[in-house]
């Protein structure tokens, strides 16, 4: 029992959960809630009583896809989905060993500052790889480029270290329940769920839901699907380009096709989600926090500059602007991945772990 | 059609239990009262109920003597099926328009119901909350007052069969609306409440699932004049043996604009559960609640009595209801005691609907504003020391027009309103005629 914990949760952006009067409507309307995995009221209880260890151990925190049905139907407007989002930020921050995430998630100005400073550092690091260019020659008159190089390496190592640490912290919290299915079965189910989001599709299916009857192409699960597969395809394309060392720019080159499809999916998903977050059609989008925006903006900027570059390459546009965009593109992508364990992106690590644990212990 | 006087000491808007109590108190003090009721019968919601909590006294047995007394009081003019419009505050008192709508049946009606037998039109009976049908010419319900038939012109086919069969020839298709300008010195608002419409909460499937009924429909199945003489579920007429109550349907719920407690749904559900235990001795009754608010005199004992009779109380608000092919219903809720989500099958679900403000009073006044509280009930400007006062001098509020309350509280509130109105009348008349003692 820790009564101060409520204030801590509020600093992570949960403003309304104290209004809860424990009726359980949220748990009852949640399609993912089931005996043994009953939430979201569970989290309100944990947050109110300050049971930090239970929160950090909780698999349900990551099983939730934030469809927002609970918040729509909450008779007290206590916004349980907002609390879950805040507790995820709390968990990401707690799993990350440096303590930087704790600071940036609790202070918006600091979050923006850190993001921008890191972007500048990464840009300088990238420039330091090519000290012969005009910009670099001008720049490195003032700053020792070795220093920049090492700063970048330290930052990268720190990020990777945080990622590995988060992974093992999460694994360490494996539920003590007896496994009910074979590891391979659980892994298979986890991979299928990650690929097609069957559980996410079961959200918003009742006629009283805002998304019921709307075309699947604009439903939140599909947008999430697009962003996820956009990432996977772009990552594949980048990796293939690197492996084959073949910067073939032919439109029909397989790597190019994969990259273009991935980019389109990523742009489609992130653009529509940004529109939702701006317009706020449902409560879950109305309670958008800076951490949501930072992640989305990174995705969108990476995708946007990527397409700009692709078009520039076809147009044989070798101006200074194109190189600037290239630098910007690489900085966005690098920062997004290096901030993995320090941002909302970390859910891509913790959700599969939770899903695996869930399928492993489910009878 | 009753011909109104040109002036009354007090106008009472609403002929429910609070309006009647106010009118009777004022009339007994010698004041002339106009009691205006928009429905065909006075008696309000209470006359339709089975028993009252926590004493389990018969509601009709308490309310009908009061209804008769009101209707027959020499100082009270009761205008049923009439509406008040355009109230203007004047230097002293109020001026208003009384619109008496035609019933198409004169006061000669003896209530023999021969017309009902010949009428060929059957429509849903609003006084039985849609459980059964009624004719286009009908006596509202068996204890209606006045016991005069009325023709529902929206559904009447003007076939004239009733006119032929009526022994006292009381049917008059030529009746027209009577509009009269009247003055009154004081106004008492006893406009009551509206029942929550559960179709708003789609998750509960009311209107879609046949065996999801409102508590008012269950109440009508339990009254002495009940339509089926038994408790039946609507889909197939089966006598239910596993009944669920969903408490706080449309109360304490900000998503439907009704964030406050209805003050009655815990106790009337407990009452109905006890009555069901008597009517259907083998049936299981389960109440799903957020908190049981048994706050009044004898309420807690009444609640404990229900528990000891075997009524099941489950802490957890029902989130969703699903219908099975056989008409049974699955209620999904979180059992707050265990923290686990659960699904239970019942063959009848009763929604314990809450009460909403009747906002009609907001349109009545033309040159003054009767303020409302945050929940749209009439604002009590001095709730602690003068509970019947409103923001307009000379306008008083009685009963559930000022907020959710049970029957005893409504009658208490009406007592307060009548005594405050009486002292106001006295003060005004003393100003006009200082010799008055």
- Give me the residue spans of the domains in chain A: 5-95, 103-361
Most A CBs within 10 A among B314, B317, B329, hence the mutation to make, goes to: B317
In chain B, what percentage of residues exceed pLDDT 70?
Answer: 100
Residue B33 lies in a domain: yes
- Backbone dihedral angles phi then psi of residue B59, each to the nearest 5 degrees: -65, -45
In B, minimum Cα distance to A33 occurs at B341
Inter-chain CB proximity A25 and B319 less than 8 Å = yes
Q: Bridge partners of B188? A: B12, B396
The DSSP annotation for B366-389 comes to SSS---B-TTSSBP-TTTTT-TTB
Which residue is listed with tokens 């608000």?
Answer: B317
pLDDT tens-place string over residues B268-321 = 999 999 999 999 999 999 999 999 999 999 999 999 999 999 999 999 999 999
Question: What whole-number distance in Å separates Cα of residue B162 and Cα of residue B185?
Answer: 42
Inter-chain CB proximity A207 and B202 less than 8 Å = yes
Residue B205 is part of a domain; what is its CATH number? Answer: 3.50.50.60
- B70 shares a domain with B187: yes
Average pLDDT over residues B343-364: 96
Which residues from chain A sit within 8 angstroms of residue B203, using beta carbons? 29, 73, 206, 208
Inter-chain CB proximity A75 and B255 less than 8 Å = yes
Asked if the C-beta of B347 comes within 8 angstroms of chain A's C-beta atoms, the answer is no
Distance from CA of B323 to the nearest CA of A (A): 13
β-pairing verdict for B329-335 and B340-346: antiparallel
- B282 shares a domain with B211: yes
Name the nearest CA neighbour of B64 among B41, B34, B80, B35: B41
Last residue of a domain, one of B329, B355, B381: B355
Distance from CA of A49 to the nearest CA of B (A): 15
- B149 shares a domain with B37: no
- B396 shares a domain with B351: no
Inter-chain CB proximity B339 and A42 less than 8 Å = yes
Residue B305 lies in a domain: yes
In chain B, what percentage of residues exceed pLDDT 90?
Answer: 96
In B, minimum Cα distance to A283 occurs at B255
Tokens encoding B147: 């016991």
Which residues from chain A sit within 8 angstroms of residue B340, using beta carbons? 35-36, 38
What per-residue confidence (pLDDT) applies to B321? 97
CB of B222 closer than 8 Å to CB of B272: yes
Q: What is the CATH number of domain A103-361?
A: 1.20.950
Name the nearest CA neighbour of B243 among B211, B265, B216, B219: B211
Question: What whole-number distance in Å separates Cα of residue A127 and Cα of residue A140?
Answer: 9
What per-residue confidence (pLDDT) applies to A161? 87
**Environment class of B428 (CB within 10 Å of its CB; exposed 0-12, middle 13-18, buried 19+):** middle
Helices (H), A34-99: 41-49, 52-57, 60-63, 69-73, 80-95
Q: Which of A87-96, A238-247, B108-117, B183-192 has the lowest mean pLDDT?
A: A238-247
Asked if the C-beta of B321 comes within 8 angstroms of chain A's C-beta atoms, the answer is no
Inter-chain CB proximity A25 and B317 less than 8 Å = yes
Cβ count within 10 A of residue B242: 18
pLDDT tens-place string over residues A156-196 = 888 888 888 888 888 887 767 778 888 899 999 999 999 99
Which residues from chain B sit within 8 angstroms of residue A27, using beta carbons? 319, 334, 341
- B225 shares a domain with B186: no
Inter-chain CB proximity B290 and A21 less than 8 Å = yes
What per-residue confidence (pLDDT) applies to A251? 66
In A, minimum Cα distance to B334 occurs at A24
Q: Which residues of chain A have pLDDT under 70?
A: 135-143, 145, 175, 245-251, 363
Question: What whole-number distance in Å separates Cα of residue B205 and Cα of residue B43?
Answer: 31
Residue B106 lies in a domain: no
Which residue is listed with tokens 């009337």?
Answer: B268
pLDDT tens-place string over residues B20-31 = 999 999 999 999
Inter-chain CB proximity B341 and A207 less than 8 Å = no
Inter-chain CB proximity A27 and B319 less than 8 Å = yes
Q: CA separation (Å) from B125 to A175, B23, B133? A: 58, 29, 5
User: Which letter does DSSP use for residue A34 in this model?
Assistant: B
Inter-chain CB proximity B334 and A41 less than 8 Å = yes
Distance from CA of B334 to the nearest CA of A (A): 5
User: Which letter does DSSP use for residue B5 in this model?
Assistant: P
The rounded radius of gyration (Å) of the Cα atoms in chain B is 23
Inter-chain CB proximity A23 and B254 less than 8 Å = no
Asked if the C-beta of B317 comes within 8 angstroms of chain A's C-beta atoms, the answer is yes
Distance from CA of B250 to the nearest CA of A (A): 9
Helix (H), strand (E) at residue B195: strand B193-195
What per-residue confidence (pLDDT) applies to A136? 66
- B258 shares a domain with B216: yes
Question: What whole-number distance in Å separates Cα of residue A137 and Cα of residue A131?
Answer: 6
Distance from CA of A227 to the nearest CA of B (A): 31
Asked if the C-beta of B89 comes within 8 angstroms of chain A's C-beta atoms, the answer is no
What per-residue confidence (pLDDT) applies to A256? 83
In A, minimum Cα distance to B336 occurs at A24
Last residue of a domain, one of B326, B355, B384: B355
In B, minimum Cα distance to A74 occurs at B255
Has residue B332 got a pLDDT over 90? yes
Which residues from chain B sit within 8 angstroms of residue A33, using beta carbons? 334, 341
- B233 shares a domain with B219: yes
What per-residue confidence (pLDDT) applies to A240? 85
Nearest CB among B259, B317, B332 relative to A23 is that of B317
Question: What whole-number distance in Å separates Cα of residue A70 and Cα of residue A60?
Answer: 14
**Environment class of B256 (CB within 10 Å of its CB; exposed 0-12, middle 13-18, buried 19+):** middle
In B, minimum Cα distance to A210 occurs at B202
- B92 shares a domain with B21: yes
Most B CBs within 10 A among A25, A43, A46, hence the mutation to make, goes to: A25
Question: What whole-number distance in Å separates Cα of residue B95 and Cα of residue A157?
Answer: 85
- B312 shares a domain with B211: yes
Nearest CB among A41, A73, A207 relative to B255 is that of A73
What's the total number of domains in chain B? 3
Range of the domain at B127: 114-165
In A, minimum Cα distance to B249 occurs at A75
Distance from CA of A81 to the nearest CA of B (A): 16
Q: Which of A306-320, A344-358, B47-61, B334-348 has the lowest mean pLDDT?
A: A306-320
Has residue B128 got a pLDDT over 90? yes
- B328 shares a domain with B274: yes
Most B CBs within 10 A among A20, A28, A70, hence the mutation to make, goes to: A28
Question: What whole-number distance in Å separates Cα of residue B32 and Cα of residue B75?
Answer: 5
Q: What is the CATH number of domain A5-95?
A: 1.10.1060.10
Which residues from chain A sit within 8 angstroms of residue B291, using beta carbons? 21
Return mean pLDDT, chain B.
Answer: 95
Which residues from chain B sit within 8 angstroms of residue A72, using beta carbons? 255
Inter-chain CB proximity B334 and A38 less than 8 Å = yes
What per-residue confidence (pLDDT) applies to A322? 82
Inter-chain CB proximity B340 and A38 less than 8 Å = yes
Nearest CB among B252, B255, B317 relative to A24 is that of B317
Asked if the C-beta of A207 comes within 8 angstroms of chain B's C-beta atoms, the answer is yes
Asked if the C-beta of B334 comes within 8 angstroms of chain A's C-beta atoms, the answer is yes
Interface of A with B in 66-95 (CB under 8 A): 72-77
pTM to 2 decimal places: 0.92
Last residue of a domain, one of B322, B355, B388: B355
- B230 shares a domain with B369: no
Has residue B387 got a pLDDT over 90? yes
In B, minimum Cα distance to A34 occurs at B341
- B349 shares a domain with B213: yes
Which residue is listed with tokens 């992974």?
Answer: A167
Return the number of CB contacts < 8 Å for A and B.
78
pLDDT tens-place string over residues B422-437 = 999 999 999 998 887 7
Asked if the C-beta of B323 comes within 8 angstroms of chain A's C-beta atoms, the answer is no
Helix (H), strand (E) at residue B138: strand B137-138
């Amino acid at each position: 029992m820790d009564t101060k914990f409520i204030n801590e949760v509020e600093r992570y952006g949960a403003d309304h959960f104290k209004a809860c009067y424990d009726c359980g409507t949220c748990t009852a309307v949640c399609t993912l809630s089931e005996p043994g995995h009953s939430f979201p009221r569970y989290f309100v209880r944990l947050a109110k009583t300050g049971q930090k260890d239970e929160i950090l151990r909780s698999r349900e925190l990551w099983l939730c896809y934030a469809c927002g049905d609970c918040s729509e139907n909450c008779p007290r407007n206590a916004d349980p989905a907002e609390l879950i989002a805040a507790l995820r930020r709390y968990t990401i921050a707690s799993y990350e060993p440096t303590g930087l995430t704790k600071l940036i998630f609790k202070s918006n100005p600091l979050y923006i500052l850190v993001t921008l400073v890191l972007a500048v550092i990464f840009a300088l690091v990238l420039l330091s790889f090519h000290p012969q260019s005009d910009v670099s020659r001008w720049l490195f008159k003032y700053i020792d480029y070795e220093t920049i190089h090492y700063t970048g390496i330290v930052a990268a190592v720190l990020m990777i270290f945080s990622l590995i640490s988060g992974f093992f912290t999460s694994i360490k919290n494996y539920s003590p329940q007896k496994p009910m299915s074979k590891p391979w079965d659980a892994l298979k189910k986890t991979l299928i769920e990650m690929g097609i989001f069957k559980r996410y599709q079961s959200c918003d299916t009742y006629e009283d839901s805002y998304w019921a009857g709307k075309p699947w192409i604009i439903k939140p699960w599909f947008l999430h699907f697009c962003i996820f597969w956009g990432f996977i395809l772009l990552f594949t394309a980048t990796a293939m380009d690197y492996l084959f060392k073949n910067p073939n720019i032919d439109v029909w080159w397989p790597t190019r096709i994969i990259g273009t499809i991935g980019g389109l999916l990523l742009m489609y998903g992130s653009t529509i989600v940004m529109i939702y977050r701006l317009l706020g059609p449902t409560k879950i989008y109305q309670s958008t926090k800076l951490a949501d925006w930072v992640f989305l903006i990174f995705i969108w900027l990476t995708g946007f500059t990527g397409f700009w570059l692709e078009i520039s390459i076809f147009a044989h546009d070798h101006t200074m602007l194109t190189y600037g965009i290239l630098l910007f593109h690489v900085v966005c992508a690098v920062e997004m991945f290096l901030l993995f364990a320090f941002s909302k992106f970390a859910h891509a690590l913790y959700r599969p772990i939770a899903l695996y644990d869930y399928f492993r212990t489910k009878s | 059609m009753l011909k109104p006087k040109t002036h009354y000491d007090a106008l009472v808007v609403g002929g429910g239990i609070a309006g009647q109590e106010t009118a009777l108190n004022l009339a007994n003090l010698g004041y002339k009262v106009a009691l205006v009721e928009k429905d065909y019968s006075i008696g309000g919601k209470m006359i339709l109920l089975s028993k009252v909590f926590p004493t389990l006294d018969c509601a009709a047995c308490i309310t009908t003597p009061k209804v008769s007394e009101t209707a027959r009081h020499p100082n009270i003019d009761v205008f049923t099926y009439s509406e008040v419009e355009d109230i203007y505050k004047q230097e002293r008192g109020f001026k208003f328009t009384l619109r008496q709508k035609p019933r198409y049946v004169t006061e000669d009606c003896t209530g023999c119901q021969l017309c009902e037998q010949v009428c060929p039109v059957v429509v849903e009976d609003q006084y039985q909350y849609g459980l059964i049908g009624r004719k286009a010419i009908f006596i509202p319900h068996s204890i209606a007052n006045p016991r005069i038939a009325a023709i529902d012109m929206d559904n009447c086919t003007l076939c004239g069969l009733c006119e032929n069969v009526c022994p006292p020839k009381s049917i008059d298709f030529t009746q027209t609306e009577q509009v009269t300008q009247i003055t009154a010195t004081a106004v008492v608002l006893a406009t009551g409440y509206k029942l929550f419409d559960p179709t708003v909460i789609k998750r509960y499937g009311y209107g879609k699932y046949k065996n999801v009924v409102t508590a008012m429909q269950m109440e009508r199945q339990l009254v002495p004049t009940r339509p089926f003489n038994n408790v039946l579920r609507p889909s197939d007429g089966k006598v239910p043996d596993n009944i669920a109550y969903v408490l706080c349907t449309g109360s304490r719920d900000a998503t439907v604009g009704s964030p406050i407690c209805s003050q009655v749904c815990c106790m009337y559900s407990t009452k109905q559960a006890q009555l069901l235990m008597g009517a259907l001795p083998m049936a299981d009754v389960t109440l799903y609640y957020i908190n049981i608010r048994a706050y009044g005199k004898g309420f807690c004992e009444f609640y404990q009595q229900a528990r000891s009779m075997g009524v099941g109380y489950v802490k957890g608000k029902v989130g969703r209801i699903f219908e099975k092919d056989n008409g049974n219903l699955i209620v999904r809720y979180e059992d707050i005691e265990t923290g686990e989500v659960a699904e239970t099958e019942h063959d009848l679900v009763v929604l314990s609907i809450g009460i909403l403000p009747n906002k009609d009073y907001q349109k009545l006044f033309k040159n003054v504003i009767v303020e409302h509280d945050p929940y749209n009930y009439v604002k009590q400007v001095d709730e602690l020391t003068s509970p019947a006062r409103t923001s307009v001098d000379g306008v008083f509020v009685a009963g559930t027009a000022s907020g959710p309350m049970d029957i005893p509280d409504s009658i208490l509130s009406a007592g307060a309103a009548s005594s405050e109105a009486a002292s106001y009348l006295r003060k005004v008349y003393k100003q006009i005629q200082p010799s008055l003692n």
